Structure 1
Amino acid sequence: MRLATITNWAYGATVLLTIVSSTTMILASNAQEHERTAVEQRYALDKATAELGTDIYALSDRARQFVNTGDPTYLAAYRSEVAALEAVEDRIRHIGDAGATTGELDALKKAVTLADTLHDEQQTALTAQENGNGALARQILFGAEYERQLDRAELEVQRFQDRLDSRIEAQVRDATEISQLWKRISEVVLALTALLVLCVLYFVFKQRVLHPVVKLSDVVNRLAVQDFAAEPPEVSHIDEIGDMAQAIRIFRENGLERQRLEAERDADRTMRDLLSRMTQRMQGCDSLHDLKEIVQRFVPEIAPAMPGRLYLLDPQRNLVVEACSWLGPVQSGTQFSALSCWALRRGLRHRPAGDNVDVPCDHVTWDAAHPVDTLCLPLTAQRETLGLLYFEMPAGGAAGAAQLIYFDMLAENIGLAIANLQLRDTLREMAMADSLTGLANRRQLGPALETQIAQAERLGEPLGCLMIDVDHFKRFNDVHGHEAGDAVLRAVGQVLANVTRETGLAFRYGGEEFLVLLPTLSAVQAEERAEDIRARIAALRLGHGDADLGPVTISVGIAVAPDHCAYDRLVRTADAALLRAKTLGRDRVEMAKLRNAASA
């Protein structure tokens, strides 16, 4: 049963008991009024009866006093009182008006009649006294018969008073009993009313004040320690408790909202810190391999439970090729045409199974009955497409707007990192390669020579070096122009690039001089390689415009460490051999002298 129903019933019962209590109090008051009326009536009747008895005895006393004393004053008083007496009915009428019953009045009337009979004897005695017969007068007034008549009158008055007393006492007793009864009933009803009121007050206080306050106190204590899972009780009535509960509910909702915002802020800060660390690591990458490892390590943390791939664009074949993957994606292949992806076509994020209907990419395995939620993010930098970042969304998962922003930031950072690596490689190539011949330049020779020397010393292998100079190169520039000289250098560089087994071991040393490193080759093998190079270059037939540039010859100096010199003197030894070849007439190969011969 609801609290409102209980309190309504209690209020109704309280009102009913109050009415009953008031009624009983009124009835008790009426009974007390009857009691008071009966007492007053008894007093009035006693007073009237006493006056009647006084009248009976007063006349006898006046007559006797006159007979005893002969004083005419008593006779005058007697006659005056007799004259004042009324008829029997008139004398007892006021007693009837005072409340005497008919039976009581009949008894009183009999007493008055007996008293009036005594008047006749009193008159006879008074007449005898006046006539001088005092003895007769005394005999009449003091005789036994007169006394009996007087006692009978007194007895009748006494009977009247006894009956009156009995009746009045019965009325007073009944009125008192009724008054006491209604009073007790009133007291009982009043006690019940008070008890009910107290019970209702206690019940209401307990249910509507104590219980809510205790619960609200517990909720407040929990909210004070940031336990916003505590839910305040529902208080529907409008009062201070309801206002307090509403205020606590609003405070809790604000706390929950603040917790949600703090959780979002913390998650956003964590995600941005993760993206920042990933960006810092990518900025420190020195190769595409390092970038792949960073992407494979960080992306599953940024996009958990989302398999995916990083594709790089191969512009020569117009394909996007997988660079790395994570969590085993299955809906897209390892390579496909750039035109197969709408994200690469449009240069924008593409999600065919997201909130908005869109066309799927051709590189995604698509089932119209069970569409796959995929996300393609183009990797661009400086309006140039570099690759693609691909994700497969989990079933039933949803990427919110904030997460899509993280994906965009991720794609932007990866795109910039790839662009930086490509730019770095391009700049390195430009810095380490000769733009005219395509060979490595002298700047790259230092690290490459150190690497080859260290490897040769560690393995105990020989390391050969060819110093090459184009003979009479100034003639090409002077006769045919610098463009012709550039053509000669390009042709020589092309020959040198093709005769080495490993790339990056042929260098343009400066001007018309070139250097070739020959790891693991002996002095004989190095000399054979030098003669082959000289023969190939001599076989070149170059022209510039309509003019024939004529034959191109070279001079070559050979040194092999550790046969001819120490590893660290390899280049200088080969350069000395080149100088000797040029001194001896050019278009020839000269071997450096052996170390023992040189020392001899």
Structure 2
Amino acid sequence: MRLATITNWAYGATVALTLVSGTTMLLASNAQEHERAAVAQRYALDQATSRLGADVYALTDHARQYLNTGDPADRLIYNRNAAVLASVEERIRHIRDAGASPQELQALKDAIRWADTLHDEQREAIAAFDRGDEALARKLLFGAEYGRELDRVQALIDRFQDRLDRRTETLVNEATEAARLWKTLSEIVLAITGLLFLCVLYFVFKRRVLRPVIKLSDVVNRLAAQDYAAELPNLTQIDEIGDMAEAIGIFRENGLERQRLEAERDADSNIRDLLSRMTQRMQGCDTLADLREVVLRFIPEIEPARAGRLYLLDRKRNTVVEQCSWFEPIHSRPEFSPVACWALRRGLPHRPTGGKIDVPCDHLALEGDAYPDSLCLPLMAQRETLGLLYFEPRGGVAAASPTSEIYLGMLAENISLALANLRLRDTLREMAMVDGLTGLGNRRRLDAVLGDELGLMGQLGATVSCLMIDVDHFKRFNDVFGHKAGDAVLQKVGAVLTGATREPGLAFRYGGEEFLLLLPGLDADLALARAEEIRATINALNISVGGEDLGSVTVSIGVASAPEHCPFARLTLTADAALLHAKARGRNRVEIAARRSGDMTARRQLA
């Protein structure tokens, strides 16, 4: 056969195989696009339904919070959140646009209808609570039926997610199989093309084809092993070799794009997982120390390229004070005035460098005209400034990507909510420990203090005395002058007891018109003298309500000391017994408990 014929056949076969190879690679690329589209659609549907379950639980929590506290602010929050809910069709329209099937939409629609049913029960419970029928309101919101309906809503949402996961998994598997098939065909065609090239090389194009084919073969093998970092040879010839190189280049670019998208997806998923776990840990924090530990553990993992500090606002000193830091930041002072930071002034994130030029904060230590690429994120909740989250570039580490600032903003919001929850928890705990009328500690505070104080005194072998105080004929003030007069008497007595001890927090309202005073370190004689001083001070009070004089106020006081009169565990009972003895002996007097030695003669101080 003539050499020209061989050349023509070789050219024809080369062109045909090159077209087939390019087609299969393009089909493989198209299959990969389908796979990415399925993953992107799943992500879009996840985003569209991410807050459906949260809406149901949020409204339930706000309604229950209103029943527990009766605070109109809780009801206002509930009404505001309920007002923004749309109808079933409006709330699933964007999910239908994201690619959900009719069966999935029906499951989601059922979930939202059950959620609307729960909303109706919430409104009915709130209405019953407002009418004063708290039992019915609590039955509606805290009953087993409400819990089952709430679980049913979550189950329907989970069913929607399960159907969505199965459909998305099927689509991804089909696209993956198609990509694998076309990839295999592409490799086969490329192998045949390579074999033909070797033959043509041997007979005709040894010098022209050998080197390009060897280079392209190496690139193809590396691409087949998903090594998309392989560099293509620079081929400028316009023939079958050039076409094949172009097709391989397209395949390589598609592979690189896929790797980039997968890396971004994995990084995004990792950051979202860290943020989610950090938020969960912060919700379980009981103290500021717990919160600092969570911050120091998670923030370096979320943003390893930046050093930073967590500041909190000290309202008494009107100063922003550092609570913790990571990666040794050097540009921001550990303590400064709130007006020294533009983020705290404006209530918005502030960055003096980067894409937009801005004014640097005064709390930065600047070196000449060089500004650090700092980022200040205000910590705010309910339009109240709580502190500052500060970041600066970490030495020797590449700068953070622009996308990371979005997650840093979410991080600041989560820390702000955690700080607000800690403050609210401390406020509620303090309110639960204080009597609202007198400002003294209540029985709950007394139990806590008794456990700590008596335990400490018992370990040290020290003495602690207890005064049990009762207002004589207190019912007379309510019956003759009204309950406002009774409240005034209790407030005045509470004020006297507050000033009767050097250490704060040792005077308590025991219940009704009874009070209790702890005197650590005072023996029975000193406690007796202190009790008489209190009795005389109260007897000298001049109380009037509405211009009407209430007359003299007298109290009966029982005194007991541990371990002189009783064990530490029976201190309040012994003081109460002494108080009953004082009331039985005519009131307006101080009685001290009998000593443990068996001397049953009570010491007393007459009025």
Shorter-normalised TM range: 0.5 to 0.7
Residues 205/502 of structure 1: CA separation in 2 closer, same or farther (3 Å cut): farther
1:369 corresponding residue in structure 2: 369
Q: CA deviation at 1:203?
A: 9.0
> Could you tell me which amino acid in structure 2 is paired with residue 411 of structure 1?
A
2:279 corresponding residue in structure 1: 279
Count matched residues: 403
Q: Answer yes or no: is the 8 Å Cα contact 1:375–1:393 preserved in 2.
A: no
> Could you tell me which amino acid in structure 2 is paired with residue 233 of structure 1?
P
Q: CA deviation at 1:414?
A: 0.6
Q: CA deviation at 1:391?
A: 1.9
Q: CA deviation at 1:446?
A: 2.1
Q: CA deviation at 1:200?
A: 10
Q: Does residue 1:345 correspond to 2:345, yes or no?
A: yes
- Partners of 2:531 and 2:411 in 1: how far apart? 53
2:404 corresponding residue in structure 1: 403
Q: Answer yes or no: is the 8 Å Cα contact 2:307–2:326 preserved in 1.
A: yes
- Partners of 2:570 and 2:516 in 1: how far apart? 14
TM-score for the superposition, normalised by structure 1: 0.61
- Partners of 1:343 and 1:536 in 2: how far apart? 54
- Partners of 2:471 and 2:203 in 1: how far apart? 116
Residues 532/222 of structure 1: CA separation in 2 closer, same or farther (3 Å cut): farther
Q: Answer yes or no: is the 8 Å Cα contact 2:442–2:508 preserved in 1.
A: yes
Residues 222/322 of structure 1: CA separation in 2 closer, same or farther (3 Å cut): same
Q: Answer yes or no: is the 8 Å Cα contact 2:306–2:400 preserved in 1.
A: no
- Partners of 1:340 and 1:263 in 2: how far apart? 39
> Could you tell me which amino acid in structure 2 is paired with residue 556 of structure 1?
I
Q: Answer yes or no: is the 8 Å Cα contact 1:373–1:394 preserved in 2.
A: no
Residues 561/199 of structure 1: CA separation in 2 closer, same or farther (3 Å cut): closer
Q: Answer yes or no: is the 8 Å Cα contact 2:594–2:600 preserved in 1.
A: no
- Partners of 2:323 and 2:288 in 1: how far apart? 9
Residues 538/257 of structure 1: CA separation in 2 closer, same or farther (3 Å cut): farther
Q: Equivalences for 1:320-399 in 2 at 5 Å?
A: 320-366=320-366, 369-394=369-394, 398-399=399-400
Q: Answer yes or no: is the 8 Å Cα contact 1:507–1:514 preserved in 2.
A: yes
Residues 212/528 of structure 1: CA separation in 2 closer, same or farther (3 Å cut): farther
- Partners of 2:333 and 2:548 in 1: how far apart? 55
Q: CA deviation at 1:340?
A: 2.9
Residues 482/401 of structure 1: CA separation in 2 closer, same or farther (3 Å cut): farther
2:304 corresponding residue in structure 1: 304
Structure 1: gaps spanning 5 or more residues: 1-197
1:509 corresponding residue in structure 2: 510
Q: CA deviation at 1:428?
A: 0.7
Report the more deviating stretch, 274-283 or 207-216.
207-216
Q: Answer yes or no: is the 8 Å Cα contact 2:305–2:398 preserved in 1.
A: no
Residues 217/552 of structure 1: CA separation in 2 closer, same or farther (3 Å cut): farther
Q: Does residue 1:451 correspond to 2:473, yes or no?
A: no
Deviations 1:523-580 (A, max 9, x none): 2333233233334433433333433344333222122223222332222111111111
Tell me the SS of whatever aligns to 2:375: strand
1:235 corresponding residue in structure 2: 235
- Partners of 1:526 and 1:596 in 2: how far apart? 19
Tell me the SS of whatever aligns to 2:205: helix
- Partners of 1:447 and 1:225 in 2: how far apart? 68
Residues 287/236 of structure 1: CA separation in 2 closer, same or farther (3 Å cut): same
* Higher Rg: 1
> Could you tell me which amino acid in structure 1 is paired with residue 468 of structure 2?
M
Residues 417/213 of structure 1: CA separation in 2 closer, same or farther (3 Å cut): same
> Could you tell me which amino acid in structure 1 is paired with residue 433 of structure 2?
M
Q: Equivalences for 1:56-95 in 2 at 5 Å?
A: none
- Partners of 1:504 and 1:585 in 2: how far apart? 31
Q: Does residue 1:438 correspond to 2:439, yes or no?
A: yes
Tell me the SS of whatever aligns to 1:304: coil
Tell me the SS of whatever aligns to 1:494: helix
Q: CA deviation at 1:351?
A: 1.0
Report the more deviating stretch, 542-551 or 568-577.
542-551
Q: CA deviation at 1:202?
A: 4.6
2:16 corresponding residue in structure 1: none
- Partners of 1:535 and 1:270 in 2: how far apart? 70
Tell me the SS of whatever aligns to 1:237: coil
Residues 499/212 of structure 1: CA separation in 2 closer, same or farther (3 Å cut): farther
Residues 444/394 of structure 1: CA separation in 2 closer, same or farther (3 Å cut): same
Residues 539/264 of structure 1: CA separation in 2 closer, same or farther (3 Å cut): farther
Percentage of matched positions with identical amino acids: 66
1:46 corresponding residue in structure 2: none
1:525 corresponding residue in structure 2: 526
Q: Equivalences for 1:461-540 in 2 at 5 Å?
A: 461-540=462-541
Residues 201/297 of structure 1: CA separation in 2 closer, same or farther (3 Å cut): closer
Q: CA deviation at 1:423?
A: 0.5
- Partners of 1:336 and 1:541 in 2: how far apart? 50
Q: Answer yes or no: is the 8 Å Cα contact 1:305–1:327 preserved in 2.
A: no
Q: Answer yes or no: is the 8 Å Cα contact 2:360–2:371 preserved in 1.
A: no
Residues 388/491 of structure 1: CA separation in 2 closer, same or farther (3 Å cut): farther
1:116 corresponding residue in structure 2: none
Structure 2: gaps spanning 5 or more residues: 1-197, 602-607
Residues 553/383 of structure 1: CA separation in 2 closer, same or farther (3 Å cut): same
Tell me the SS of whatever aligns to 1:220: helix
Residues 205/542 of structure 1: CA separation in 2 closer, same or farther (3 Å cut): farther
